[in-house]
Amino acid sequence: MDSTNENDRIEFDLILQAIYQKYGYDFRDYAKASIRRRLRNQLSKSNLKTISEMQHKLLNDKNFFDRLLLDLTINVTEMFRDPPFFKAIREIVLSELKKQPFIKVWHAGCSSGEEIYSTAILLKEYGVYESSLIYATDTNELVLDKAKAGIFPIEKMKDYTVNYRKAGGLASFADYYTARYDNAIMDNSLKKNIVFSNHNLVTDSVFGEMDLIMCRNVLIYFNRELQDRVFRLFRDSFHPDGFLCLGSKETVRFSSLSEDFENVIENEKIYRRIVSH
């Protein structure tokens, strides 16, 4: 192996170990190419010369680590992202869940909250929001705070409205937010049954007995071993027959836990927990 490449590998491994030891965030099993690309990006933005310099800075500067964390935990999302997925949730998943007296939903890796409020709107329009509880979790306090605020750029509302209609929206999307200057503020009625919490899929334990778990476009950044660990966490967090929803490029099919889930809608990556009898 080329000595330069070997040194690079060691430096990257050391900085991930340092992050884990100092702050408790474990990126050691994330897909290597993706993590290295993000670390190099932060290196360039911070005008640092080496990964070793970055390691020294993050160990001694919490604010720098918080900025780095935003790079490492990707937060690309929008309301009613992938409208056919949300239409399937509306028409198939909720038609099953409405039979229950109470519905518990977990948005794992909720990012800045767009998909949380999308789900709240679906539950509201289906008439089950008052008997539902949504747990919204992420590892990053900065994006959690943004999600709690429920304030999004007004310029994005046009695209979100299109998504909402394609997802089978029943009302005027503008009824769900108040426009104020350059922002759209989500209605408080959507927030009252949402619990925001810091939870790390990599290191934390079972979250609760859920009927619906959404974890979309998070697992693509994990290697196979870490994906299996997260699928095991989800499996053990379900009520019987709970639904698992993944992102468009994710699947449970090649996991060692695949036999614990059945396809509901493969195209939309919606699965259901199989309970052995």
Q: Kindly report, as residue ranges, where domains of CATH 3.40.50.150 are found in the chain.
A: 83-273
Which CATH number does 83-273 carry? 3.40.50.150
Q: What sign for the dihedral angle of Cα 82, 75, 237, 32?
A: positive
Q: Which residue has the tokens 């299996």?
A: 228
Q: What sign for the dihedral angle of Cα 147, 148, 154, 159?
A: positive
Highest mean pLDDT among 24-33, 63-72, 154-163, 203-212: 154-163
262, 238 Cβ separation under 8 angstroms = no
The 10 Å CB-count burial string (b at 16+, else e) for 151-167 is: bbeeeebeebbebbeeb
Burial, 34: exposed, middle or buried (Cβ in 10 Å; 0-12, 13-18, 19+)? middle
156, 78 Cβ separation under 8 angstroms = yes
Mean pLDDT score of the chain, rounded to an integer? 90
- Residue 113's pLDDT is 92
The pLDDT tens digits for 50-60 are: 888 999 999 99
| Percent of the chain surpassing pLDDT 70 | 97
Residue 4 pLDDT level (bands cut at 50, 70, 90): low
